[in-house]
Amino acid sequence: MLWADGFQPVSPDELKLTKEPMAQGAQAIILFHQVNRDDSVRGVAHQYNYVRVKILTEEGRKYANVEIPFWKEAETIDHLNGRTIRPDGSIVSFDGKVYDKSLAKARRFGLMAKTFTLPDVEIGGIIEYFYTENFHYVYDSHWILSEELFTKHAHYELKPFRGNGFYNIGLRWTWKDLPSGPGPVEGPDHIIRMDVDNIPAFEKEDHEPPENELKARVDFTYEVDEAAKDADQFWQSVAKKLNGNVDRFVDKRKAMEQAVAQIVAPNDPAEVKLRKLYDRVQEIRNKSYEISKTEQEEKREKEKPDVNVEDVWKRGYGYGAQLTWLYLGLVRAAGFEAYGCMVSSRAEYFFNPKTMQPSKLDSNVVLVKLNGKDLYLDPGAEFTPFGMLTWSETGVQGLCLDKNGGKWVHTTLPESSESRIQRSAKLKMSETGELEGKLTITYTGLEAMYHRLDARHSSELERKKLLEDAVVGQIPFAAEAQLTNKPDWSSSEAPLVAEFDLKVPGWASSAGKRVMVPAAMFTAHEKGIFEHANRVHPIYFDYPYETADDVTVELPAGWQVASVPSAKTEDGHVVSYNLKVDGETSLHLSRTLRIDFLYLEQKYYPALRNFFQAVRTADEEQVVLQPGTATANN
């Protein structure tokens, strides 16, 4: 271990501190942050984190609610401990519960958080906690410097992996927005260390690129032997090695031809063959999406590792990357021109070939030539529809592999119409202004995929709650939703259709002898975004998408529509919005919102902000209803 267990002493100056000149108005600051990373054992890594926070204002007491994010598929967190230090120096130890919380609302599949609350926090007091992260796989390492709070002092260490006697491992490091100082320094013991003071707080914004991409950081890259100084030569060499690895795994032509004969018919059209092969691969047990097992459980099952596509096919299981390479072997055996591609996921970082970091090419897809078009496919990503990729693989750079060194490609970005949320409601309004009726929501494309991924290990009751909470969260009024059907959770291709009994008690409001209702209903997600006048970061959406609402409201007997807002259309090229309201004795509300971009530079923020302000204004316009005579006289 590179660290000592337990809490570190608190100095009198830390207890006396009441403000930080370099963080004016801060609710709290980080007094000390320590990160010790140990990669020395091949295939695993451990990282010790120690955080000490000074509470400066009443609002700063909220930082007693600690949230530690982690990727549930790639890491675990343990040895968590915390305490509170009152202004007088007395200590209150943490002995409460630690909870697991899903952060799926950020569309980051698998992102969880350990949450807990430290006790007896006062203004002028200190909270501190430490924990260990255990990483299942090690491809590279990072020191992330920027935090939500200003950091007065931070200390970082890395004990790198150096090889196993059969080959040597080199280590390079680069950094971004590093505060002034000497930077990382390797000591005689080969441990890299760095001390940094006065790290500015990181400013979070709506729909920003991945935080780690924006933050000040140091990136470490492991590489076999020495990297070429020229980036083109480097990537050519990398591509040849990767292509050799893929060919060795895939090159089982006879076994693949026999498998193809079982799946497709000779007279099937080309696309039908590709779809049949895709569907068959997705039926194979995907170990990448299973609940993590202990070493003892894996030994008891005695599952042999797959060394080639024939093993995957015959044994009926494999990891996601292996299933994608199985598909490559099958489509080649079926006579298609197809290539393996290593692409750069944009879930946490953006890829830059100039940094020469092969580990950033961390996803594999298959490129198939079909009728003169490039078709990118990844059946190893569970629930991914044919012809689409998981969101983090779309619109990214990758290496298309061949024996000559490959070439750079860009994966396709789906159009907004391919990932859609369609809401169709038939409701009745009571004379007291309550709405009640049926709602059907149809999720397609990536929208369907991520609901299925989020719920894949959930019980039927948990899935029901997930969908019901999603409905209630879309309505900016108190609402109740009850799922009434059994959606198809197992398909990749079919839309995810959810039917509800919906009740909205306070939808209408009285205005003298008339009743007012809003022109749109499912608007909560757009209400609060892009409200700030200034913008620090670029604007970023995980993928293009579209929402379309069609709501019919049957009015009470004798009621009429007195006036409706004029139809609204906003076209910002990469965003568009349409709202139309009409009716006489019933009310029809139609609304569409389209987001058709991935990334916009900060300079376009004013135009985008104006667009969403126009959307909010239109959504909040009122429909005027004229009650019947009997109601009006009450």
Q: Is the pLDDT of residue 71 over 90?
A: no
Q: Mean pLDDT over residues 55-82, rounded?
A: 91
Quote the tokens at residue 369.
Answer: 């030539």
Residues 6+ apart with CB under 8 A from 87: 15, 122, 123, 124, 125
Q: Which residues contact 209 (CB under 8 A, 6 or more apart)?
A: 350, 537, 538, 540, 599
Please report which residue ranges of 425-571 form alpha helices under DSSP H. Answer: 446-454, 460-474, 524-527
Q: Which amino acid appears at position 455 of this protein? A: A
Strands 169-176 and 317-318: unpaired
Is residue 164 very low, low, confident or very high in pLDDT (cuts 50, 70, 90)?
A: low
Q: Which of 168-182, 295-309, 412-426 has the weakest average pLDDT?
A: 295-309
Residue 532: in which H helix or E strand, if any? none
pLDDT at site 288: 87
In this predicted structure, the answer to whether residue 396 has a pLDDT above a threshold of 70 is yes
By DSSP bridging, strand 560-563 and strand 622-626 are antiparallel
Q: What is the pLDDT of residue 106?
A: 43
The pLDDT score that the predictor gives to residue 354 is: 86
pLDDT at res. 72: 75
* Residue 597 to residue 604: CA distance in whole angstroms: 12
Q: How confident is the model at residue 162 (pLDDT cuts 50, 70, 90)?
A: confident
pLDDT tens digits, one per residue of 209-242: 999 899 999 998 887 655 556 888 889 988 999 9
Q: Is the pLDDT of residue 632 over 50?
A: no
pLDDT of residue 528: 83
Helix (H) or strand (E) holding 156: strand 151-159
What gap in Å lies between CA 127 and CA 149, rounded to an integer?
13
Helix 320-333 with 253-263: angle, nearest 10 deg: 80
**Average pLDDT over every residue of 288-293:** 75
Query: How do beta strands 140-144 and 285-286 pair?
Result: unpaired
CA angle, residues 517, 523, 529, in degrees to nearest 5: 130
Residue 429 confidence (pLDDT) above 60: yes
List the single range of 262-271, 298-307, 432-441 with lowest mean pLDDT: 298-307
Q: Report the C-alpha gap between 429 and 499 in whole angstroms.
A: 19
Q: Enumerate residues 6+ apart whose C-beta is below 8 A from 463.
A: 455, 487, 489
The stretch 480-508 carries a mean pLDDT of 96
| Neighbouring C-beta atoms of residue 215, cutoff 10 Å | 16
User: Looking at residue 107, what is its pLDDT?
Assistant: 46
pLDDT of residue 159: 93
Phi, psi of 632 (to 5 degrees): -65, -30
CA distance 609 to 538: 13
pLDDT at 110 over 70: no
pLDDT of 380 > 50? The answer is yes
Give tens-digit pLDDT for 500-556.
999 999 899 988 889 999 999 999 988 889 999 999 999 999 999 999 999 999 999
Best CA proximity match to 280, nearest among 375, 380, 418 = 380
In the chain, the percentage of residues whose pLDDT exceeds 90 is: 75
What pLDDT shows up at residue 344?
Answer: 94
Confidence of residue 634 (pLDDT cuts 50, 70, 90): very low
Looking at the predicted structure, is the pLDDT value of residue 65 above 90? yes
CATH of the domain spanning 417-632, picked from 2.40.240.20, 2.60.120.1130, 1.10.3720.10, 3.40.50.300: 2.60.120.1130
- Going by DSSP bridges, is the β-strand pair 496-504/28-38 parallel, antiparallel, or unpaired? unpaired
Which residue in the block uniquely carries the two structure tokens 């009470």?
A: 556
Show Cβ contacts of residue 467 under 8 Å, excluding neighbours closer than 6 positions.
441, 451, 481, 483, 487, 498, 500
Tell me if residue 266 falls in helix, strand or coil.
Answer: coil
For the entire predicted model, the pTM comes to 0.87
Dist CA 415 CA 574 (whole Å): 11
pLDDT band at 618 (very low <50, low <70, confident <90, very high): very high
Which one, of 576, 190, 257, 623, lies nearest residue 417 by Cα?
Answer: 576
Residue range 365-374: mean pLDDT, rounded? 96
Mean pLDDT confidence for 400-408: 91
Q: Out of 293-302, 399-408, 596-605, pick the least confident.
A: 293-302
Percent of the chain's residues with pLDDT above 70: 93
pLDDT surpasses 70 at 285: yes
Confidence band for 633, pLDDT divided at 50, 70 and 90: very low
Identity of residue 363: S
> 437-458 pLDDT, tens per residue?
999 999 999 999 989 988 888 8
H/E element, 438: strand 435-443
Give yes or no for a contact between 328 and 250, defined as CB atoms under 8 angstroms apart.
yes
**Amino acid of residue 590:** S
User: How sure is the predictor about 180, in pLDDT bands with cuts at 50, 70 and 90?
Assistant: confident
pLDDT beyond 90 at 70: no
- Domains of the chain, by residue range, sit at 12-224, 231-413, 417-632
Structure tokens at 56: 């400066």
Q: What is the mean pLDDT of residues 326-334?
A: 98
Which pLDDT belongs to residue 168? 62
Q: Is the domain 12-224 a CATH 2.30.40.10 member?
A: no
Residues 414 and 446 sit within 8 Å (Cβ to Cβ): yes
pLDDT over 50 (residue 2):
no
Cα–Cα distance between 490 and 278 in angstroms, integer? 15
pLDDT of res. 167: 54
Fold of 231-413: C8orf32 fold (3.10.620)
Q: Is the confidence at residue 292, as pLDDT, over 80?
A: no
Coil vs helix vs strand at 197:
strand
Give the residue from 416, 386, 352 showing the smallest Cα distance to 575.
416
Strand order across the 586-595 sheet: 480-483, 496-504, 435-443, 420-429, 545-554, 586-595, 575-582, 568-571
Would you state the pLDDT for residue 67?
Answer: 94
Reported as a pLDDT band with limits 50, 70 and 90, residue 163 is low
Structure tokens belonging to residue 73: 């598929």
Residue 128 pLDDT exceeds 90: yes
- In sign, the C-alpha dihedral spanning 253, 256, 261, 266 is negative
Pairing relation of β-strands 285-286 and 317-318? parallel
> Which of 170-179, 490-499, 619-628 is predicted least confidently?
170-179
The mean pLDDT value of the chain amounts to 90
Question: Mean pLDDT over residues 595-605, rounded?
Answer: 96
Q: Which residue in this structure is represented by tokens 């946490």?
A: 348
